[in-house]
Amino acid sequence: MTVSILSLATKVPEASLNRETFVQRLQNHLSLSPEEAHFLKKVVRGTSIEKRHSVVADMFNPDSFPSVGQETSARSLLYQSVAPALAEDVSRAAVESWGGNVEAITHVISVSCTGCIAPGIEFLLVDRLGLSRSVERLGINFMGCFGAFKGLAVAKALALENPKNRVLLVCTELCSLHFQHASTKETLVANSLFGDGAAAVVVGALATSNEKPLLSLKGQASLALPGSLDLMTWSVGDTGFKMELSPKVPEAIGEYIVPFSKKLAAPHTDFHECTFAVHPGGRAIVETVAKACSLNESQLEASWSVLRQYGNMSSPTFLFVLDEVLKKKSDSPWVLGLGFGPGLSIEGLLLKRE
């Protein structure tokens, strides 16, 4: 029984900052020394990110964003007031693109790691979208950048359970709410990588004549890298959630990515024949995958495009990459999805264009 992504929608907040404006405002906001300012400019250039979006129109304005010393609760209130609306907008777009009756949605899954509310987004969407009161709900929280992979794995299992099931999966992340008011090198790097966004898909098996499958879900895999617990962490602090990234992350990924990719693709195709949909957690990660797997530029074009336009938006980023993949022609129908997150974990999906 074939399970497919039946629709896909993406959305970002209207407010955005280009690279030059981001550097200038961050430099002024933190009153960086000449040495710190030079480091920041070097880091931001090195990310390849040209623009990022935020739910906060001016994240460097204390009147609209929690100022120095304000606790996590202030940021959580912003999340509660903004995240459900963004999730609703992108979910509504996915449902409209799917074209089915909203009451035919049997399950709704919400993925997020940048905020947590109860009742969760998956519950709030019942009223906001007009879903059935008996819809099954699940929240997948705090899994980081590979959250969409876990969401799709669960959606696939639910679709296989009953061919009539239609699963709405929405990933909503407001990374900018966890901006840190500090000028350490680690913090400047983390502040330079992330943006806000949301993406949603409808997943189901045995597509009807009225449905238009985009990608079928053919395989999935996960690998917890040994000795990697301190390489990428995401913890709750007094001033928002704090990301800790080791410069050893690309090296660790590079050591395992080839055998992982080969094994995932092997039952169906040679992994070198695939379009790669790599979660662009950062420039170094994409470059590491490209080098280790001997990929040409076109195989990673979608990942580079998303990184330039949006930065790392955590869990929805992979769905943005899939959206870019679908916009581009390819000689091969196979798409190899790769994501990375706290653990350190490599997550993979093998998909096929319909």
The rounded Cα 320 to chain-centroid distance in angstroms is 8
Q: Which residue has the tokens 């395992």?
A: 256
3-state secondary structure 186-214: HHHHHHCCECEEEEEEEEEECCCCCCCCC
Q: Are 179 and 311 in contact (CB under 8 A)?
A: no
Q: Are 311 and 279 in contact (CB under 8 A)?
A: no
Task: Name the DSSP letter for residue 11.
Answer: E
Alpha helix ranges (H) inside the chain: 19-29, 34-47, 72-98, 121-129, 147-161, 185-191, 249-265, 283-293, 301-310, 317-327
DSSP 207-266: --TT----EEEEEEEEEE-TT-TTTEEEEEETTEEEEEE-TTHHHHHHHHHHHHHHHHHT
- Classify 156 as helix, strand or coil: helix
Name the amino acid, one letter, at 149.
F
Q: Which of 113, 145, 175, 293 is catalytic?
A: 145
Q: Look at residues 5, 6, 281, 261 and name the one whose alpha carbon lies nearest to residue 153.
A: 5
Q: For residue 244, give Cα distances in angstroms to 225, 232, 236, 238.
A: 17, 6, 11, 15
CA dihedral 15, 21, 27, 29 (to 10 degrees): -40
171 is catalytic: no
Bridge-partner residues for 84, per DSSP? none
Please state whether 279 falls in left (phi above 0), alpha (psi between -120 and 50) or beta. Answer: beta
What gap in Å lies between CA 317 and CA 199, rounded to an integer?
Answer: 8
Catalytic residue IDs: 145
